[in-house]
Structures are given as structure tokens and as C-alpha cells.
Amino acid sequence: MFGLIGHLTSLEHAQSVARDLGYPEYADQGLDFWCSAPPQIVDTITVTSITGQQIEGKYVESCFLPEMLATRRIKAATRKVINAMAHAQKHGISITALGGFSSIIFETFNLSEIRQIRNIQLEFERFTTGNTHTAYVICRQVEQASRKLGIDLAKATVAVCGATGDIGSAVCRWLDARSNVAELLLVARNQERLLEMQHELGRGKIMGLEEALPLADIVVWVASMPKGVEIDPTVLKQPCLLIDGGYPKNLATKVQYPGVHVLSGGIVEHSLDIDWRIMKIVNMDTPARQLFACFAESMLLEFEKWHTNFSWGRNQITVEKMEQIGEVSVKHGFRPLLV
């Protein structure tokens, strides 16, 4: 059995979902209540591969909300992640993806040092961040969507916002080694990590966001921001492809401007309907078919019986592992979202 640990995008979102799911006692509560709420399994899932194989899974709602980080409720945030992991393990789940901020919190606050949760000794090989598949899907989106828009990658400038992160660094490695992009712009806040990334790649210009936006034919957004940013679309090139892989989204508002194309990043479409409620709850356009690539990674690991933490530790993702997970993604009928 596979598992997905997820969370909602804001307190307001959580309150409305609680009402819809039949938890009225959660719906009128503020952030403090969510800080103390335990994890819950709120969905059971059946997925069929195009090979005919069928697997079962469960969605664990961690009750984490991005406002917990924004208001420095760090203890609550870390407890959410670790308790959700213990909950998944207690229910016998073999491989569980740490969706959205779960893996970021796990890495940022060194949660690998906490192994004992009450009577449960966490077995980390039962968990994956799902970031290898996410990075692979985003890179395929860059390659395929740019072709559709007539942007030639061999002449294109690609800005990666969050270039030093787990997903961003993997995206940079692939764009450098596989996609033959002309220019890479590396955007993040910590200069030391940016220099390390530039050194590893042997290329890439370090830039602030304001400086990078007018130069980019393609912007990949993979920054871990609890709230999205507003951008001025008039400064962008035309055409310009914006691939927003953040969860919550890095772009605060839907950019609508001539020549600017926005694509939801790190989203895959399955070839067959999936019987579940959770993607409707997170407002996916086609909830029976579309899902986060990190969640799809735990499904792929279950299909292949690779019960191992395939994606683990920050900035360890190699192009070879992206190819490996990409191959089984295609085999089981997932494809990167392109509209």
C-alpha cells in the first residue's frame, strides 16, 4: 500500500474543506486549533496502471498549514509532519510521499534526528519526498511546452527561482545536462548556496528576481514560499513561459497577459481515472486525472515494489535517478501536464 501525506494551502482553505468533508467542529476554528489537531486518514485510493496493475493507497492529512511557518509556530509545524509519518507507518503503509511543505520541514528542521514517536520507531525507508519525479516532470514541461510555444531551448534563457532547493537544483542539473539551454539564471536568497550551485554546474548567472524576470524566456518557480509573490507581467518577454511548481503557488495571482503562458508545474495527468476525493479538495482542474508529481512518485514506487526512500536528503537528486523514475512514470501512464 502507498500513502500520501499532504496539507492544505491556508487556514481559510482548511476551514472550507473541513466543512465540505463533514468535520464541522474543525470548520470554525482558528490556527491554534489546527496546531493541536492530530493527523487523519481522509481518503482511500485505488489507482490502475495502463499495464493493468492495480494498487491501493491512503491520503493522510497532516493538518499542517503554511501560516504555522509564517507565524513562527515551528514546534507545531514539525509535530504535524512527524506525527503524520508515524500515523502512516502505524497503518502499515509501505511507501509514503511527503507532499508540499512536509519534506521541506523535515529537512529544514533536521527531523531525521527524531526517530521515536511514542511507541513507533520511524523507518525512514518507508518515506520519499517525491522530489525526483517532481523535478523530472517540471523539466519535461519545460521541454515540451517550450516546443509548443516556439521557444528554442538552445537559444533560450531559463530563470530558476529556488535554484538552490531540492527540486530547483535537480531542475538546473537536467536543464544543463539534457535540455541544452543557452543560459541559466539562478535565483534564491542565500548567496553562499547560490555560489555552490554555480560552482557545481560550472555555469549559470546569479541574479535577483527583479533583474532576472525581464531576461527570461522561461521562468521555473520552485521556491518554498508560504505565500506567493505578485509580479508585473509588463516586464516579461513575449512569449514567456512561467511554470509554477510551488505549493502553495509561488505566483499569488493568475497572470493574464498577452504572450505570457502560465503552466502548473510538477503536475501529472494519469491516463485512467483515479477514484479519490483529495484532488478535488485541492482544486485540481481535472481531479480524477491530475495530481502532484510527488504523490505520483509513491504510486510508482508501489507499482514497481521499490519500497525505498527513492528521494531523500536535500540536493541529492541526480539526472540518472530522474531518468529512472521518468521511465516508470511513462510505463504506468502518467504524463506531464501541458495545458
In the complex, least distance from residue 268 CB atom to ligand NDP, rounded to whole angstroms = 8
Binding site for ligand NDP (CB under 6 A): 100-101, 103-104, 130-131, 134, 161-168, 187-190, 193, 222-225, 245-247, 266, 292-294, 314
In the complex, least distance from residue 267 CB atom to ligand NDP, rounded to whole angstroms = 6
User: Would you say 157 or 298 has its CB closer to ligand NDP?
Assistant: 298
User: Would you say 96 or 103 has its CB closer to ligand NDP?
Assistant: 103
Pairing of strands 267-270, 240-244: unpaired
Query: Is 187 in a helix, a strand, or coil?
Result: strand
User: Would you say 28 or 74 has its CB closer to ligand NDP?
Assistant: 74
Q: Do residues 229 and 248 lie in contact, with contact meaning Cβ atoms separated by under 8 Å? A: no
Residue type for position 280 = K
Q: Do residues 239 and 152 lie in contact, with contact meaning Cβ atoms separated by under 8 Å? A: no
Whether a cis peptide bond, with omega within 30° of 0, leads into 239 is yes
User: Would you say 33 or 124 has its CB closer to ligand NDP?
Assistant: 124
Q: Which residues pair with 32 in a beta bridge?
A: none
In the complex, least distance from residue 120 CB atom to ligand NDP, rounded to whole angstroms = 24
3-state per-residue secondary structure call for 6-42:
ECCCCHHHHHHHHHHHCCHHHHCCCHHHHHHCCCEEE
In the complex, least distance from residue 325 CB atom to ligand NDP, rounded to whole angstroms = 12
In the complex, least distance from residue 245 CB atom to ligand NDP, rounded to whole angstroms = 5
- Distance, CA of 272 to CA of 134 (rounded, Å): 20
In the complex, least distance from residue 213 CB atom to ligand NDP, rounded to whole angstroms = 12
User: Would you say 85 or 188 has its CB closer to ligand NDP?
Assistant: 188
In the complex, least distance from residue 23 CB atom to ligand NDP, rounded to whole angstroms = 24
Which residue sits closest to ligand NDP, CB atoms considered?
165
Instruction: Classify residue 242 as left (phi > 0), alpha (psi -120 to 50) or beta.
Output: beta
User: Would you say 27 or 201 has its CB closer to ligand NDP?
Assistant: 201
CB contact burial 114-140 (16+ within 10 A = b; e otherwise)? beebeeeebeeebbbbbbbbbbbbbbb
Residue type for position 53 = Q
Q: Do residues 51 and 73 lie in contact, with contact meaning Cβ atoms separated by under 8 Å? A: no
User: Would you say 28 or 211 has its CB closer to ligand NDP?
Assistant: 211
User: Would you say 126 or 249 has its CB closer to ligand NDP?
Assistant: 249
In the complex, least distance from residue 277 CB atom to ligand NDP, rounded to whole angstroms = 18
For residue 129, which phi and psi values (nearest 5 degrees)? -75, -25
